[in-house]
Structure 1
Amino acid sequence: MRNIKIVLEYDGTNYAGWQRQKNALSIQQVVEEALYKLTKERITVIGAGRTDSGVHARGQVANFFTASRIPAERFSFALNSVLPPDIRVLESQEVSHEFHARYSAKAKQYRYSICMRPHAPAIARNYYYHVPDILDVEAMNAAAKYIIGTHDFKAFQSAGSGVKNTVRTVYEAYWVWEPPCYLHFHIKGNGFLYNMVRILVGTFIEIGRHRMLESDMKRILESGDRDKAGPTVPAHGLCLEKVYY
């Protein structure tokens, strides 16, 4: 059996996230069905991150074991010939049996994108969250400094998660304005809680609107209270950019 690592790009609009679901179509299911068409094997694909419904990826990483004789570097071409056009395998290679897309990962990088103008976008509507206000990006970047480092991010976790340890390390967190009206939040960390990035962005937007102070980010972080943080922004603005090993 060979262990094959793949890097995927996908538009998550039409899917119920990465992980296989009982009553909804997922990215994992579509990739596994494509592999069955190619290999006639029932293969389980292991993803680096369980992106939620509507979330996109430019650099999702996955691995799977196969007895197929398809050359490792050709799996990307073979898979793309049977995958729908909103899922693409960018590269494929054989790796050691010890490699695990999820457990071997050292860090992940996400980006959240906002369209900041009076009217919502038409063409980019599936990739940008529309905010009709002019946000104070300087204040948002000042607040972002408070989350860099190792902290308990319990205040930025949605209810329903079974995770007991809510301590995570954030290596980078900053906002970039892209003229004329686009705003991108970049965050890199060793792991993220359920809806953590989307709740952080919702809190930053409140700071950018001057409904909260920059220092409130530190206060919310230390409180561990989800009710003190901002709203959970929609999934479609979020993209998994890269997984580090």
Structure 2
Amino acid sequence: MLSTSDRLIDARAPLTTRMALGVSYNGSAYDGWQSQLSGRTVQDELERALTRFIAHGPIRTLCAGRTDAGVHGLMQVVHFDSPVVRPDHAWMRGTNSFLPHDIAVHWARQVPAHFHARANAVARRYAYVLLESPVRPSVDAGRVGWVFRPMALEPMQEAAQALLGEHDFTSFRAAQCQAHSPVKQLRRISITRRGAYWRFEFEASAFLHHMIRNIMGCLIAIGNGNHPASWMTEVLHARSRDAAAPTFSPDGLYFLGPLYDESLGIPTQTAAFDWLPG
């Protein structure tokens, strides 16, 4: 018999319990977030774990922002409808017991039935961690990007200013991007350094496919002296992918998560944020 906390909703009734989860993952071993025939994606692993935990039919999730193969997530937010009601801490611990070691649920919240992880997000955040060293990464291989040539901060900061605001980001858009419009509002770019590690943070209303990795390619080309800071403006105004630098490695890219209206009570970060270098 199910306990009160595990009570089943009448099977004839619609699924009315909507849950949101905050999930972190190391994307190195996965084919990205979105479910694929390979079954080797973060979404596939999470849905298998939720289905095993609930033991009441398959569970389907919807995320705040899809990530590519090799990209990591510090706070992916997902929502799903459940036929059972359980305490928030049970969702976290129970789901984690069925997840592989490189994926973890940090928090769980019951949310209103109208909550939508993607549509309700007012902003999304990413970070790129870059190692500047004559020697390639070893213990942090797969978790940081790498450059072996010295980079200068001021030209990159000047170039980043040209991207702030609402623009047509076609020059930084992957050919397979499915977004309806290339126009996005880039609200913040910060560039800092600690030791050999650079940290680039981006916040925007939304991002195009490969947008950050393409911007990173251009920032690095400017930082190492291959182009002047003014080149970023030329690339932006060209509205052509051919004008920009090659797409940079996914290894150091982290989805920091979405932001929502405070009234929803959705956390803005997880404990995984404390690890991020730079």
TM-score range, shorter chain: over 0.9
Q: Secondary structure at the match of 1:235?
A: coil
Q: CA deviation at 1:74?
A: 2.0
What does the per-residue CA deviation read over 1:81-110, in whole Å, with 9 as the maximum and x for residues that have no partner?
A: 111110000000100011111111111110
Deviant stretches of 4+, over 4 Å = none
Q: 2:132 aligns with which of 108, 111, 116?
A: 116
Q: CA deviation at 1:215?
A: 0.9
Gapped runs of 5+ residues in structure 2?
Answer: 1-15, 261-278
Matches of 2:23 and 2:130, distance apart in 1: 23
Q: Secondary structure at the match of 1:188?
A: strand
What does the per-residue CA deviation read over 1:110-166, in whole Å, with 9 as the maximum and x for residues that have no partner?
A: 001110010012111111111001011111011101111000000001112233310
Q: CA deviation at 1:71?
A: 1.6
1:57 aligns with 2:73: yes
Amino acid at match of 2:213: R
Q: Secondary structure at the match of 2:31?
A: coil
Q: CA deviation at 1:69?
A: 2.6
Residue aligning to 1:239: 254
Q: CA deviation at 1:67?
A: 1.2
Q: 1:8 aligns with which of 11, 18, 23?
A: 23
Q: Within 5 Å, which residues of 2 pair with 1:1-245?
A: 1-40=16-55, 41-179=57-195, 181-245=196-260
Q: Secondary structure at the match of 2:251?
A: helix
Task: Pick the structure with greater CA Rg.
Answer: 2
Amino acid at match of 1:163: A
Q: Secondary structure at the match of 1:50?
A: coil
Q: CA deviation at 1:174?
A: 2.0
Q: Secondary structure at the match of 1:142?
A: helix
Matches of 2:149 and 2:42, distance apart in 1: 34
RMSD of equivalent CA atoms: 1.0
Matches of 1:222 and 1:174, distance apart in 2: 22
Amino acid at match of 1:141: Q
TM-score relative to the length of structure 2? 0.86
- Alpha-carbon contact 1:15-1:24 (below 8 Å) kept: no
- Alpha-carbon contact 2:53-2:94 (below 8 Å) kept: yes
Gapped runs of 5+ residues in structure 1?
Answer: none
Matches of 1:45 and 1:132, distance apart in 2: 40
| Matched length | 244
Which range moves more in the overlay, 160-169 or 98-107?
A: 160-169
Q: Secondary structure at the match of 2:33?
A: coil
- Alpha-carbon contact 1:2-1:65 (below 8 Å) kept: yes
TM-score relative to the length of structure 1? 0.97
Matches of 1:26 and 1:200, distance apart in 2: 25
Q: CA deviation at 1:24?
A: 4.5
Matches of 2:38 and 2:255, distance apart in 1: 24
